[in-house]
Chain A
Amino acid sequence: QVQLVESGGGLVKPGGSLRLSCAASGFTFSDYYMSWIRQAPGKGLEWVSYISSSGTTIYYADSVKGRFTISRDNAKNSLYLQMNSLRAEDTAVYYCARGVIAARGYYFDYWGQGTLVTVSS
């Protein structure tokens, strides 16, 4: 069965860095787009970034552009999110999600359990 397991969250000071990981299993990882989606405490979902199956196409939300870097290692079935220059407003649960490309857009058919990132002094 499809499994996505995030790790790497924690408490970090403003301006600091953190690297999130997502270990995938139960499917051919290299066949799928992957995304990071976050949810601030008590708030809604916010798409953060996605990466194509080969890693050649990458997009970011404006709120994280220039600070976050998404990457993947298909040999290790892993997705990453390097987060630099963290701000208090980056505090959220970060979900890794599998993307399905459809004729008119894409959606997320499997989600991990999430990892909490807290940015505070």
Chain B
Amino acid sequence: NAGVTQTPKFRILKIGQSMTLQCAQDMNHNYMYWYRQDPGMGLKLIYYSVGAGITDKGEVPNGYNVSRSTTEDFPLRLELAAPSQTSVYFCASRGLDRGDSPLHFGNGTRLTVT
């Protein structure tokens, strides 16, 4: 059981380039999330989705886009990379309608924008 899979693990982008961070889960979870983690700043929510076709902004959505065409996949798109987007990105999922369901995290993508 793979859980939540993120690709790539590492990436270096030049300013202005674009890329998509991939996230897939095989637990049939409806809820999926994208967080970024900056040193000493904890986890900040970028976007989340409560099911296929439904997405919503989190705390820091600017500069990012998401889509949720299937239950399994929740890609995060950076259109014009900026140095401020240098961070570690975590994708997570949780089960349906259960407030006590924990988040299951992927192993993260370390992104550097130079």
Specify whether A and B are partners: no
